[in-house]
């Protein structure tokens, strides 16, 4: 959420920002409603004040007659207040709906426009090199080496689920270990999070648990939802809390399963592991002072690059355009890995994403910081970034590391956890 005062004073700017983000919102209407709300609020407070004065005087009333008269006076005042309050609530509800729909402001350097306007910032250390043999995609590779069982999973949970078997299962754990090890060295606190969370928390982070297009699975008869990312639980961890400024920045590394309905995504390229209902993710999350967030965002991006350079996978980094930022992000960088088996002759596919949400989420979640000796509190900035989303990383690894003989070379950095150099091929071949 934005600062209400900021909106009132910069209605024009906010309206333009909505347009840049491809969101419809009637900012002028909000300003009108909010202004009405404020004057109503003042009237309500004044009536409350008067009623409080009356109430206090009753305790000292001299006789019953006076007491009764004052009681009546108090009742009248409260009734009047109730009426105003009802008006206030009605208007506030409408204003609130607009307010909550307003997206974050946008970084000056973010490209303006839709998805296609996103700007490439850089490429990874590894170059895309054409393969001089028939390239298989990860589904075929998975089948060939008995790594992924989609059909089995479909029988028990439907489309979008999978069993990882053999080296794929080992790779999942290796990728987690690899990412976590790197992040712990960088001072992140490794954190295994709940895979379910209350609706209130989801909403605070910016996810809508119900509705036709929701990404979120909900648990019947409970106010619990399967998380779509540990960003939800990590952000929620500090909801309602005021942090000492000296404890910032706080860097957390969350490990969780992620569940997504992918409602509305039907028809989009979704073969194999690319768009699944469940995957494991190692996530970076930070709470910072406002002046630290931009550096932290760049740092998150650096770490994502380091992780994929370490795996030897070609990628590019995009500065996401305004129209594709979603609600909370002020700026977003996506890292797209080269996937040789995607499309006709290979395509980039998103593997990580890091967002600077500035104070947008913090305001919703009520996460503040306090500077010792200074009066008042301020909202922290929150940032999130994918370290490794296992399913997509797996696609990139299997497809990029396939060899002319059909085997798959395991990235050097993962070998200590997988326990071998290569999947299939030569004497390694099982069966």
Partner RNA sequence: GGUCGGGUGGCAGAGCGGUUGAAUGCACCGGUCUUGAAAACCGGCGUACACGAAAGUGUAUCGGGGGUUCGAAUCCCUCCCCGACCGCCA
Q: Classify the C-alpha dihedral 268-270-276-280 as positive or negative.
A: negative
Distance CA 284, CA 14 (A): 29
Distance CA 271, CA 143 (A): 14
CA atoms in the 13 A half-sphere facing the CB of 188: 27
Helices (H) and strands (E) in the chain, counts: 13, 18
Question: Is 10 among the residues that bind RNA (CB under 7 A)?
Answer: no
Q: Is the peptide bond before 249 cis (omega within 30 degrees of 0)?
A: yes
Which of 1, 14, 27, 74 is the binder for RNA (CB under 7 A)?
A: 74
Question: Is 6 among the residues that bind RNA (CB under 7 A)?
Answer: no
End-to-end CA distance of the chain: 57
Strand pairing partners for 325? none
Q: In this structure, are strands 250-259 and 278-288 parallel, antiparallel, or unpaired?
A: antiparallel
Q: How far is the CB of 280 from RNA (least distance, A)?
A: 19
Q: How far is the CB of 183 from RNA (least distance, A)?
A: 27
**Cβ–Cβ < 8 Å for 202, 182:** no
Window contacting RNA (CB under 7 A); options: 21-29, 75-83, 174-182, 255-263 = 75-83
Residue 54 or 389 with smaller CB distance to RNA: 54
Residue 113 or 194 with smaller CB distance to RNA: 194
Residue 25 or 54 with smaller CB distance to RNA: 54
Question: Is 71 among the residues that bind RNA (CB under 7 A)?
Answer: yes
Helices 27-58 & 64-101, crossing angle to 10 degrees?
160
Q: How far is the CB of 41 from RNA (least distance, A)?
A: 6
Closest CA to 266 of 182, 108, 160: 160
Question: Is 59 among the residues that bind RNA (CB under 7 A)?
Answer: yes
**Cβ–Cβ < 8 Å for 26, 98:** yes
Question: Is 166 among the residues that bind RNA (CB under 7 A)?
Answer: no
Question: Is 90 among the residues that bind RNA (CB under 7 A)?
Answer: no
Residues 12-51 that bind RNA (CB under 7 A): 38, 41-42, 45-46, 48-49, 51
Residue 32 or 123 with smaller CB distance to RNA: 32
Question: Is 144 among the residues that bind RNA (CB under 7 A)?
Answer: no
The tokens describing 37, both together, are: 């709300």
Q: How far is the CB of 227 from RNA (least distance, A)?
A: 16
Q: How far is the CB of 344 from RNA (least distance, A)?
A: 47
Q: Classify the C-alpha dihedral 288-290-296-297 as positive or negative.
A: positive
Question: Is 52 among the residues that bind RNA (CB under 7 A)?
Answer: yes
CA angle 175, 265, 358 (to 5 degrees): 65
Question: Is 5 among the residues that bind RNA (CB under 7 A)?
Answer: yes
Residue 134 or 376 with smaller CB distance to RNA: 376
Question: Is 60 among the residues that bind RNA (CB under 7 A)?
Answer: yes
Residues 313-372 that bind RNA (CB under 7 A): 368, 370
Question: Is 218 among the residues that bind RNA (CB under 7 A)?
Answer: no
Which of 91, 377, 406, 417 is the binder for RNA (CB under 7 A)?
A: 377
**Cβ–Cβ < 8 Å for 321, 107:** no
Question: Is 239 among the residues that bind RNA (CB under 7 A)?
Answer: no
Distance CA 171, CA 164 (A): 9
Closest CA to 184 of 257, 288, 282: 282
Residue 9 or 412 with smaller CB distance to RNA: 9
Question: Is 58 among the residues that bind RNA (CB under 7 A)?
Answer: yes
Q: In this structure, are strands 189-192 and 408-409 parallel, antiparallel, or unpaired?
A: unpaired
Closest CA to 329 of 376, 305, 379, 293: 293
Instruction: Mark residue 197 as left, alpha or beta (left: phi above 0; alpha: psi -120 to 50; beta: remaining).
Output: beta
Residue 55 or 261 with smaller CB distance to RNA: 55
Residue 10 or 166 with smaller CB distance to RNA: 10
How big is the site for RNA, counted in residues (CB under 7 A)? 30
Window contacting RNA (CB under 7 A); options: 141-149, 177-185, 229-237, 374-382 = 374-382
* Chain residues that interact with RNA, rule: CB under 7 A: 4-5, 38, 41-42, 45-46, 48-49, 51-56, 58-60, 70-71, 74-75, 77-78, 368, 370, 373, 375-377
């Amino acid at each position: 959420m934005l600062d209400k005062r900021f909106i009132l004073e910069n209605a024009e700017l906010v309206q333009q920002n909505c347009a840049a983000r491809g969101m419809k919102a009637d900012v002028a209407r909000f300003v009108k409603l909010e202004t009405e709300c404020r004057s109503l609020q003042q009237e309500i407070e004044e009536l409350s004040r008067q009623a409080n004065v009356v109430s206090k005087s009753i305790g000292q009333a001299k006789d019953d007659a006076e007491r009764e008269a004052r009681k009546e006076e108090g009742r009248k005042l409260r009734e009047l207040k109730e009426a105003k309050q009802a008006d206030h609530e009605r208007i506030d509800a409408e204003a609130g709906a607009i307010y909550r729909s307003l997206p974050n402001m946008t970084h000056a350097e973010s490209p303006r426009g839709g998805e296609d306007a996103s700007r490439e910032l850089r490429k990874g250390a590894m170059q895309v090199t054409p393969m001089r043999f028939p390239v298989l995609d990860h589904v075929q590779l998975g089948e060939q080496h008995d790594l992924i069982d989609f059909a089995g999973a479909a029988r028990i949970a439907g489309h979008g689920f999978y069993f990882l078997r053999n080296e794929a299962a080992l790779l999942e754990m290796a990728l987690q270990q690899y990412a976590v090890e790197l992040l712990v060295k960088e001072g992140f606190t490794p954190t295994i999070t709940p895979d379910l969370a209350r609706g209130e928390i989801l909403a605070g982070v910016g996810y809508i648990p119900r509705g036709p297009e929701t990404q979120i699975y909900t648990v019947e008869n409970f106010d619990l939802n399967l998380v779509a990312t540990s960003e939800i639980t990590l952000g929620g961890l500090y909801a309602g809390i005021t942090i000492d400024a000296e404890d910032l920045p706080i860097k957390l590394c969350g490990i969780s399963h992620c569940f997504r309905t992918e409602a509305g995504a039907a028809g989009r390229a979704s073969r194999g592991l690319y768009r699944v209902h469940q995957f494991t993710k190692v996530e970076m999350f930070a709470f910072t002072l406002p002046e630290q967030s931009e550096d932290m965002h760049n740092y998150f991006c650096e770490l994502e690059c380091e992780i994929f350079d370490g795996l030897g996978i070609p990628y590019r980094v995009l500065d996401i355009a305004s129209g594709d930022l979603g609600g909370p992000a002020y700026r977003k960088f996506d890292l797209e890995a080269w996937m040789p088996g995607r499309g006709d002759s290979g395509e980039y596919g998103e593997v990580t994403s890091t967002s600077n949400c500035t104070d947008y989420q913090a305001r919703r979640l009520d996460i503040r910081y306090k500077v010792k000796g200074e009066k008042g509190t301020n909202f922290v900035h929150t940032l999130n970034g994918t370290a490794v989303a296992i399913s997509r990383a797996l696609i990139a690894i299997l497809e990029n590391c396939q060899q002319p003989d059909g085997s798959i070379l395991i990235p050097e950095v993962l070998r200590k956890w997988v326990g071998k150099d290569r999947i299939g091929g030569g004497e390694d071949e099982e069966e």
